[in-house]
Structure 1
Amino acid sequence: MAKAMARHILVKTETEAAALKKRIAGGEAFDVLAKKYSACPSGKKGGDLGEVRPGQMVKSIDSVIFKKELRTVHGPVKSQFGYHLVQVFYRD
């Protein structure tokens, strides 16, 4: 079965997510911003979701993790929880 290693930042608004994505693109560390701004418990670990398998995450996040380019910050991605920035390290 496929698996992947990913991290994310969850915020309430698309505007917040876009602003954080811009800060990451400008050189700020994803994990530092996740610890400070993410509403998800994974934020305490720099947004680290650990190893995930298809179907473990909500559909919109699952499709990013298993179909989008690696090592790129994707988003804002909307889910019922808010807006996410997602970065995938590897997938097999």
Structure 2
Amino acid sequence: MTEASPATTKPPIPDRLAIDPRSPHHNAAVFEHEIGIRLNDKERFDVEEYCVSEGWVMVAAAKTRDRKGRPLMMKIKGKVEAFYR
């Protein structure tokens, strides 16, 4: 049997993860592989941050921006599943 090389092993998916590098929940090592998010058994492609244990995802609220030019975020609650594609 062959052992998996370090390049092919994937880190465990964290319970909470954010895309924004300024967030304390950002983990660059996880983003080396493509991640998928399902909310209420439907795959979402616009998720900015998620928390599996609390059951919510954050998505941008249309084209609305805050004073600093960043998109306003909207929290959607439901059953959250994170997986590697």
Shorter-chain TM-score category?
under 0.3
Q: Of Structure 1 and Structure 2, which has the larger fraction of its residues in helix?
A: 1
Q: Of Structure 1 and Structure 2, which has the larger fraction of its residues in strand?
A: 2
**Looking at both structures, which has the greater relative contact order when contacts are Cα pairs under 8 Å and sequence separation is at least 6?**
1
TM-score by length of 2: 0.26
